[in-house]
């Protein structure tokens, strides 16, 4: 009799374990479904955030249909971060920085006195160089050229000659005479 009782207890234990296993499987399925729903929700939220950012940028750009407004945004951005003028910073990088298309930037500079975005950037570099020549007489011409963002001293000298009709050295001497 003892053996039959042990077998019955074992069978009851097996049934209990099966029931607990079924409950755990059911709970695991519920949690898996919740995890999938949560993951899908996170994907939707991420996608919506990206769409909202794109819409925000598009709205900001849409407000810049006026050439003067767009040029003011560009000038402000370049004044805030003069390091942007250094090195190989170009018109296409300017378009990306401001968040407008290359075509919009080209249209802007066609509508102004500048031939291209690169010409505008060279003009801004030249104005910066002239400011440095005036405010820092201790700087050498090479230093002024580099600080203003010109690729080479020769390019700086050529732009200076074309713009004001004198070399950087002559410009500096004129400033000193007029003090």
Tell me the C-alpha distance between 37 and 31, whole Å.
Answer: 10
For 35-62, letters b (16+ CB in 10 Å) and e give eeeeeeeeeeeeeeeeeeeeeeeeeebe
The model's pLDDT over 81-113, given as tens digits with 9 standing for 90+, comes to 777 777 678 888 888 888 888 888 888 888 877
Q: Largest Cα–Cα distance in the chain?
A: 124
Share of the chain above pLDDT 90, in %: 18
Q: To the nearest 5 percent, what fractions of the chain are helix, strand and coil?
A: 85, 0, 15
Q: What CA–CA distance (Å, rounded) separates 82 from 159?
A: 19
Report the distance separating Cα 159 and Cα 148, nearest Å: 12
Where is pLDDT greater, at 11 or 84? 11
What pLDDT sits at residue 60? 57
Mean pLDDT throughout 24-49?
82
159: which residues sit within 8 A by CB, 6+ positions away?
Answer: 122, 125, 126, 150
Token pair for residue 77?
């951005």
Question: What pLDDT, in 10s, does the model give residues 60-81?
Answer: 555 556 788 888 888 888 888 7
> Does pTM top 0.85 for this prediction?
no
Select from 73, 156, 77 the least CA-distant residue to 122.
Answer: 156
CA nearest to 67, candidates 122, 125, 114, 123: 114
């Amino acid at each position: 009799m003892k053996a039959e009782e042990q077998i019955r207890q074992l069978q009851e234990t097996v049934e209990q374990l099966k029931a607990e296993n079924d409950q755990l499987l059911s709970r695991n399925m519920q949690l898996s479904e919740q995890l999938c729903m949560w993951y899908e929700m996170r994907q939707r939220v991420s996608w919506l955030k990206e769409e909202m950012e794109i819409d925000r940028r598009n709205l900001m750009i849409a407000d810049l249909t006026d050439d003067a407004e767009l040029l003011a945004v560009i000038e402000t951005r370049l004044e805030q971060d003069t390091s942007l003028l250094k090195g190989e910073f170009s018109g296409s990088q300017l378009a990306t920085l401001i968040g407008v298309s290359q075509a919009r930037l080209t249209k802007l500079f066609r509508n102004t006195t500048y031939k291209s975005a690169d010409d505008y950037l060279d003009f801004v570099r030249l104005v910066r160089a002239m400011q440095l020549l005036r405010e820092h007489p201790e700087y050498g011409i090479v230093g002024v050229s580099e600080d203003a963002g010109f690729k080479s001293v020769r390019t700086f000298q050529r732009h200076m000659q074309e713009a004001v009709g004198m070399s950087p050295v002559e410009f500096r001497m004129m400033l000193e005479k007029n003090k």
